Structure 1
Amino acid sequence: MTSTSGRTLDTNALRWRGESRLVARPSQDSTWTLSTSKSAGTDVTSMTSVVPSEGGGGGQEFVQAPPHPIATPAPPRSANPTASHTSVFLFLLAFRLLNALLVRTFFQPDEHYQATEVAHHAVFGYGWRTWEWMSDEARGGEIRGFLHPAIFAALMWIVRLLRMDAPIILATAPRLLQAVFAACSDLSVYKLSDRLVGSQAGCMTLHCLLFNTWLLYTSCRTFSNTLEAQMISMALLNWPLSLPASSEEMFPNASAIEPIDQSMLETLNRSIISSRKLSLALFFAALSIAVRPTAIIVWSFLGIKLICDQVASARRCSTTLEVLESVFSLAVIVVCVPTSLIPSFSFFTLLDSIYYGRFIFVPYEFMKRNVGSAGVSVFYGSSPWHFYLSSVLPLLGLTTLPYMLRGLYMALTCSTRSHQTPTPAGMNAAANNGARDVAALKTLAFLTVWTIFAYSLLGHKEQRFLQPVAAITLPIFGGLALSSPRGGMPHTNVGTVEPQLQPEAPAPAPAALAGAPCVVSQAIGHLTLFSKQLWTSFASLKRSHKWAQIALLAHLVPSIYLLRYHCIAQEQIPRRISQLADKESFKSIALLMPCHSTPWQSIMHRQDLSIFSALGSDSGEGKGGRAWALTCEPPPIGADSSSYVDQSDVFYADPLAYLRNRFPASVDARFQPSAIGAAESAAFMPLWEALQLRRSADTPQGVPLSVRVDKSASPLHTWPSHLAIFSNLLTVASPTSAKSGRPSAPTDTVGAYLEALGYVEVERHFNSLFHDDHRRSGDVVILQWQGSS
């Protein structure tokens, strides 16, 4: 609506975008009026401003934005306001499902041993549960929450109920489920970027998400870090990253208006933190902490900042309305935090207590064992303080990292008062395209810095720990930079056209699908619509950032290699073992590889190879029986980890000596299962513990079998019918022989020694072109015993 006394701003026409808010704020000399009119049967509240000209003549009219944007409601942009987000979600879902189907390689053990392996054990009754899931007072087990595996356990239970529990389905189904979570997370990140920066930045953020090699490689894998980041993204979408504006910023002359009408009160109500959104954010925050307790690093920062901002805002109150707003906002926080977190953590604690058979609060146990004075995480490796800066960030961003760092710098250094151009055109463009929430962007920027800093303080570092940064904040900052002119932040002035996601009707489906069901036809239409819009935004990069397209496309080559070929044999060997187990010649197999180099029963799915059926106990799954592998159990609590050496390290210190000393001199063709305790021999324990074990041969029967085995006895293993090893092991010679200077004997390499025993190579599987662990270099070779020569 318009007015002869000045320019009228229709507050109902402004666009509501969560924390993004618009305001008409006058200068000191301007005059504001508040009016209400009827439009289509609805009260429309308008504000009019007139600024006197310098010559005293007609007033100059303009609308100026405030330091802090103010949220106002908007009418639907079409009859179906959710159509655009439906298109985005269906596109992302299809993309991530395809992403999951393309994954056929092995990355890190936790993808299986902290998720699907535990779920397989819960559903089928057998599987390799590592020490973290066992009741082991010596090592301090039971430190993992069951919520994460329970998701996949529910899926496996359905698969079992339908009698579809083939190894290939058990390997694929969890990743397809994870792809659904990934699509929801991508949509949340897109919506967050769209809300804070603008729709153009939302599309650019999606480019940074979907082209990113690291995210293509990890988003559909069943890591707890992946689900943690996905829960955090959904929480951030509803979290108050910046406080709602005060009533003074909404209505500078509010105290002079009598009486305050109902429409103004409704607008003022939006200056209070939404209890519904905050409760939803807290729910997803609790989920992220239950999945991985280290998520407290993220939420401690956001929680403290929210409280500090709210207290600071309360201290600045100058009117009764502002006092009420602060009181109500604080009340929302005080009420929502306990009502959301207490039921959530009570349920998670109940779930964990049922799984472990005793009352347990897993976040406390996890932090105590990993971060406390008895922290065991450092046993699995430590890195310098700059590891995340010098090694991980370049890996997470690759060729798009410069754009992401530029966006981070822009968010850190941009003032909340800069880029608030006091022009009517700027307000009009902002009303149509969405105002930036600079304060929220700064919050995300400081959150990124804090997360990297906090994780850098820990001794044990892994790339996966920065998954929330890789999957949420870096893509948003990349979208911010790519949607900005080279000189600064995105403009919303006249002449700036942002590629909007128009909620128009979906594009018609191809003619070949004309007879398909209506739902399928609509889905194809949504996919076609958004694909075209995404392509349009990608093509626009050629004009604004000429190298951006190349930087994004450069991710495709490493992505294809990592998804399809790198460490492929490590992922496929368990399925191959499952097939070999049907042959009459197959009796047992040992994986002489670094610990957890392959998945286990979650893909193998052979109970007849499990220690459960071999020895009547599942406490040592994978450590003995018809199928076993080298392990890397951590040192007991209180032991000196610097002098402790696990089984894998002992084996690779001198593989030939290990085979000669820990196996019989000849192969027994009966292929008896190996004992469970073979994985914990005294040779790779601290001397004091080894002596103690030798003195306690008459251990009571109540002690686990792995402790009752005489660990000073030799040999400890039995020869299996098949061996699986990395090919580089075949050429390894004994370091003892090399140091002695004597001539090498014919059996001074592992390959020659095994050949003399009667083992012959029957299969060779390509694994990788290179590997960061030299022990895993080369192909994966399967050897079969065919009799001594």
Structure 2
Amino acid sequence: MLLLLLIAFRLLNTFTLRTFFQPDEFFQSLEPAWEIAFGPNSGAWITWEWRHHLRSSLHPLLFAAVYYVADTLAQILELLPATRAELLIAAPKTTQAVIAAIGDFYTWKLARRVYGDGNEARAALVLTIVSPWQWFCSTRTLSNCLETTITIVALYLWPWEWSLGSSEDEPKKTTRRSPRSRNHDDNGNLTRLRQCLALAALACILRPTNILIWMCLASVALFRGPWAQRMTLVREVVICGSAILGLSALADRLFYGLWTFPPLNFFHFNLAQSLSVFYGINDWHYYISQGYPLLLTTALPFTLIGLYRALVKPPSSTLTRLQTTMQTQLASICVIMPAALSLISHKEVRFIYPLLPSLHILTAPPLVSYFLPAISRSSRVHTPKRLTLLFLLFANIVIALYTTLYHASGTLNVLSYLRDQRQIHSSSPSKNTGTPGITAGFLMPCHSTPWRSHLTYPDIHAWALSCEPPVGLNAAEKAAYVDEADQFYENPTQFLRQNMEGGLRHFPRKPTYTSSLARNIQDPTIHDWPDYLIFFAQLEPTLQSLLRPSSYSECWRTYNTAWHDDWRRRGDIVVWCLDPSEQQFWRSETRKRTSERHSREKQFDRVIDSMKRELSHTGKKRKSPFQRWMSNVDWSWPRSWPWEKRRSSWMDWLQMQILGWRKSRSWDVPSHLSFGGNGKKKSKTQTERDLWS
């Protein structure tokens, strides 16, 4: 039942996910899967890693099977092209949602093995559910997400008792077990071990860096275990590892067309040739200063306490020796893996993502000890803790919603726009028979948007700036190498002159879907001027000056993000097109929205003015009790009392001087500021003085 609820939760998660995170989400999984499912001429973008055999084909084969099933279902149901496109987009997301839910479920199960069926296990489950990073990342089709789920399932199956060296943890039983019962338990443990090692080998095939986790655990088991357990572990590692390696080699042989070993190629290119540096260099403390804070967000202080307790503090009397050992080893891999990966220049937070379930498990005890009294008791003493808990939950929700609904959302929206335009023009009665569909060009940093997995239609022909690394070049050539995207941003004018068909002199006047002539450019370094030109808003002033003689004009715009660490990706995403009717429609829609916005602003201003007038009018008609009391106070000076003898003073002289000066002026001092007043007020005051004198 819990697993079904988690699947429903992650399905909600995946279908509210509308933002872009990493290009690998699409180019290392869905693009090769699309080519496997629909053929080499389907328009998928195959990056350099696949051409140089750096990736295992097992991950894209999973989604290729999903694509095949979804496409077959669309054909059986005779779905419309638009519905089929949405189904092909939703199918991988649904699959990944189920994988993420399995990871949540086994996080809870491993927490139960560590702490028992108590509050700590439930707290670990709550942590993974309310985690902003899990909401943001777990349902994406990254290989790291599948690696994370496989890792936590394998950790649950791992024989942790082998790390004790003996069976001293459990009290000796007085009852003698039968040989059949012992054989049954041994067979069950052996089956769990084989399942664990097979999953661990699969995780290492997907991401070779995952081997750091299993080296740590296996080293402890081999060092502490008796000779028989060591031999069993080594034997099963060889058997299970060989089986997974054989399966991977066969899949790669079918995918690449030759025998290859991607993990070895991965280490050769990224470490020996240092090609990973081409995609960025980070500080040595990246995983400490950025990695863990991004993964854990508001749970970070409690995680640090949990790591400290697991590694430094003595064992708790409430936990068994096995449970204490499990905590210590989980904390050890959460420290050793980031430390090892810190030696590599190129770092990304998703590289340590497989540690997040273990971190949540270690975070649970400090979290429970701090917040449980505030939840279980109604004393007002715990009100600050309750407010803190509510604040942390609110912060997590805000972060999760912003990162999944708004930040970098335009990169997916623009592909939805292109699909809609393809639908409009393919159903247009004026469309010529045999036209090549619509064309699009992306003047953006490489891999800024998904590709064929979201374009879906084969007659959407698109190109984008590439960023191939300097493979096979010497050190001097690598130092001077500049990829296509960097060439464009260094000098847009020169790039457009040299790399666009016709340069900046000859532009197309009509879009391809209104012409019977298809454009066919053989040179891969030359791009045609497309029907739709897509770029980030920071490039808009440059293109306005360069493309002023052309027929291009804005026909769509969408919000992308309020900030970005890459200056090239800042601002909205803008689409220019060649079709005058689309340009006119967009201008009219823009004017309409502007008019509506101004109307709303004026209406708001009228409401504010009306409220001001109402308050002002009300203030004149009615006074507060304090104002009424102050208006009735006699501020005349000097005061005289019945027992006082009336005598003149310097204040009387000053009062007379002021009254005389007022009469000689054209304006008057307000009555409430005068000393004696005038008119009726003065007569009344003088009468009172006479009565009291």
For Structure 1 versus Structure 2, the TM-score category normalised by the shorter chain is 0.7 to 0.9
Taking the aligned partners of 1:436 and 1:308, their CA distance within structure 2 comes to 16
**What is the Cα deviation at residue 782 of structure 1?**
1.0
**What is the Cα deviation at residue 309 of structure 1?**
2.2
SS of residue matched to 2:577: strand
Taking the aligned partners of 1:206 and 1:540, their CA distance within structure 2 comes to 28
- Alpha-carbon distance change, 631 to 248 in structure 1, aligned in 2, over 3 angstroms: closer
1:336 lines up with 2:236 in the alignment: yes
Task: Quote the residue 1:480 is aligned against.
Answer: 365
- Alpha-carbon distance change, 203 to 597 in structure 1, aligned in 2, over 3 angstroms: same
Task: Quote the residue 2:317 is aligned against.
Answer: 420
SS of residue matched to 1:384: coil
- Alpha-carbon distance change, 587 to 263 in structure 1, aligned in 2, over 3 angstroms: closer
Taking the aligned partners of 2:184 and 2:86, their CA distance within structure 1 comes to 54
SS of residue matched to 1:167: helix
- Alpha-carbon distance change, 540 to 729 in structure 1, aligned in 2, over 3 angstroms: farther
The correspondence for 1:639, drawn from 451, 474, 479, is: 474
Judge conservation of contact 2:161–2:322 (CA < 8 Å) in 1: no
Q: Which runs of 5+ in 2 are unaligned?
A: 426-430, 513-517, 584-693
- Correspondence list, 1:427-446, <5 A: 437-446=323-332
- Alpha-carbon distance change, 541 to 181 in structure 1, aligned in 2, over 3 angstroms: farther
The correspondence for 1:122, drawn from 29, 32, 36, is: 36
- Correspondence list, 1:132-531, <5 A: 132=48, 134-135=50-51, 141-163=52-74, 166-198=84-116, 199-243=118-162, 246=166, 261-262=176-177, 274-310=189-225, 326-372=226-272, 374-415=273-314, 418-420=315-317, 437-470=323-356, 472-484=357-369
Taking the aligned partners of 2:553 and 2:124, their CA distance within structure 1 comes to 53
1:95 lines up with 2:9 in the alignment: yes
Taking the aligned partners of 1:459 and 1:539, their CA distance within structure 2 comes to 52
Task: Quote the residue 1:108 is aligned against.
Answer: 22
- Correspondence list, 1:19-38, <5 A: none
Taking the aligned partners of 1:652 and 1:563, their CA distance within structure 2 comes to 29
The correspondence for 1:721, drawn from 518, 531, 537, is: 531
Task: Quote the residue 2:487 is aligned against.
Answer: 650
Per-residue CA distance 1:701-759 (angstroms, 9 max, x = gap)? xxxxxxxxxxxxxxx3332222111111012xxxxxxxxxxxxxxxxx32132232121
SS of residue matched to 2:555: strand
Per-residue CA distance 1:84-123 (angstroms, 9 max, x = gap)? xxx3212211111111111111111110011111111111
Taking the aligned partners of 2:419 and 2:362, their CA distance within structure 1 comes to 46
1:607 lines up with 2:458 in the alignment: yes
Taking the aligned partners of 2:379 and 2:34, their CA distance within structure 1 comes to 46
Select between 390-399 and 223-232 the one with higher mean Cα deviation.
390-399
Runs of 4+ in 1 over 6 A off after TM superposition: 267-273, 535-544
**What is the Cα deviation at residue 761 of structure 1?**
0.3
**What is the Cα deviation at residue 265 of structure 1?**
10
Which has more radius of gyration?
2
- TM-score for the superposition, normalised by structure 2: 0.73
Amino acid at match of 1:128: A
SS of residue matched to 1:607: coil
Amino acid at match of 1:630: L
**What is the Cα deviation at residue 673 of structure 1?**
3.8
Amino acid at match of 1:96: R
Judge conservation of contact 1:541–1:548 (CA < 8 Å) in 2: no
Judge conservation of contact 1:651–1:658 (CA < 8 Å) in 2: yes
Judge conservation of contact 1:97–1:179 (CA < 8 Å) in 2: yes
Taking the aligned partners of 1:161 and 1:267, their CA distance within structure 2 comes to 49
- Alpha-carbon distance change, 159 to 247 in structure 1, aligned in 2, over 3 angstroms: closer
Q: Percent of pairs identical after alignment?
A: 32
Taking the aligned partners of 2:190 and 2:358, their CA distance within structure 1 comes to 25
Per-residue CA distance 1:262-301 (angstroms, 9 max, x = gap)? 3699689979992122111101101211222221222222
- Alpha-carbon distance change, 391 to 134 in structure 1, aligned in 2, over 3 angstroms: closer
Taking the aligned partners of 2:328 and 2:416, their CA distance within structure 1 comes to 48
The correspondence for 2:559, drawn from 746, 749, 766, is: 766
**What is the Cα deviation at residue 632 of structure 1?**
0.4
Judge conservation of contact 1:485–1:544 (CA < 8 Å) in 2: no
Per-residue CA distance 1:123-145 (angstroms, 9 max, x = gap)? 1122333333544xxxxx12111
Judge conservation of contact 2:208–2:263 (CA < 8 Å) in 1: yes
Task: Quote the residue 1:783 is aligned against.
Answer: 576
RMSD: 3.2
Judge conservation of contact 1:412–1:445 (CA < 8 Å) in 2: yes
Amino acid at match of 1:579: D
**What is the Cα deviation at residue 182 of structure 1?**
0.7
Task: Quote the residue 1:568 is aligned against.
Answer: 409
- Alpha-carbon distance change, 581 to 272 in structure 1, aligned in 2, over 3 angstroms: closer
Judge conservation of contact 1:593–1:648 (CA < 8 Å) in 2: yes
Taking the aligned partners of 2:176 and 2:484, their CA distance within structure 1 comes to 76
- Alpha-carbon distance change, 579 to 639 in structure 1, aligned in 2, over 3 angstroms: farther
Judge conservation of contact 2:31–2:46 (CA < 8 Å) in 1: no
SS of residue matched to 1:475: helix
Taking the aligned partners of 1:100 and 1:112, their CA distance within structure 2 comes to 15
- Alpha-carbon distance change, 356 to 266 in structure 1, aligned in 2, over 3 angstroms: same
Judge conservation of contact 1:196–1:435 (CA < 8 Å) in 2: no
Taking the aligned partners of 2:379 and 2:101, their CA distance within structure 1 comes to 23
- Correspondence list, 1:738-777, <5 A: 749-777=542-570
- Correspondence list, 1:30-109, <5 A: 87-109=1-23
- Correspondence list, 1:538-687, <5 A: 546=386, 547-582=388-423, 583=425, 584=431, 587-609=438-460, 626-640=461-475, 641-663=478-500, 664=503, 665-669=505-509, 673=519, 675=521, 677-679=523-525
**What is the Cα deviation at residue 150 of structure 1?**
0.8
Select between 180-189 and 406-415 the one with higher mean Cα deviation.
406-415
- TM-score for the superposition, normalised by structure 1: 0.65
SS of residue matched to 1:628: strand
Amino acid at match of 2:166: S
Taking the aligned partners of 2:381 and 2:14, their CA distance within structure 1 comes to 28
Amino acid at match of 2:147: E
Judge conservation of contact 2:466–2:484 (CA < 8 Å) in 1: yes
Taking the aligned partners of 2:221 and 2:401, their CA distance within structure 1 comes to 42
Select between 765-774 and 637-646 the one with higher mean Cα deviation.
637-646
- Alpha-carbon distance change, 590 to 408 in structure 1, aligned in 2, over 3 angstroms: same
Taking the aligned partners of 1:462 and 1:581, their CA distance within structure 2 comes to 36
Task: Quote the residue 1:713 is aligned against.
Answer: none
Judge conservation of contact 2:442–2:463 (CA < 8 Å) in 1: yes
Judge conservation of contact 2:303–2:363 (CA < 8 Å) in 1: yes
Taking the aligned partners of 2:62 and 2:302, their CA distance within structure 1 comes to 36
Per-residue CA distance 1:553-586 (angstroms, 9 max, x = gap)? 3110011111111111101222322222342597
Judge conservation of contact 2:71–2:84 (CA < 8 Å) in 1: no
Per-residue CA distance 1:181-200 (angstroms, 9 max, x = gap)? 11111111111112102321
Judge conservation of contact 1:567–1:768 (CA < 8 Å) in 2: yes
Judge conservation of contact 1:674–1:717 (CA < 8 Å) in 2: no
Amino acid at match of 2:404: L
**What is the Cα deviation at residue 327 of structure 1?**
4.0
Taking the aligned partners of 1:261 and 1:563, their CA distance within structure 2 comes to 57
- Alpha-carbon distance change, 407 to 265 in structure 1, aligned in 2, over 3 angstroms: farther
SS of residue matched to 1:602: helix
SS of residue matched to 1:763: strand
Taking the aligned partners of 1:368 and 1:458, their CA distance within structure 2 comes to 13
Taking the aligned partners of 2:410 and 2:192, their CA distance within structure 1 comes to 46
Task: Quote the residue 1:12 is aligned against.
Answer: none
Per-residue CA distance 1:432-479 (angstroms, 9 max, x = gap)? xx9870111000001000011011111111111111122x12211221
Judge conservation of contact 2:27–2:450 (CA < 8 Å) in 1: yes
State the aligned residue count: 548
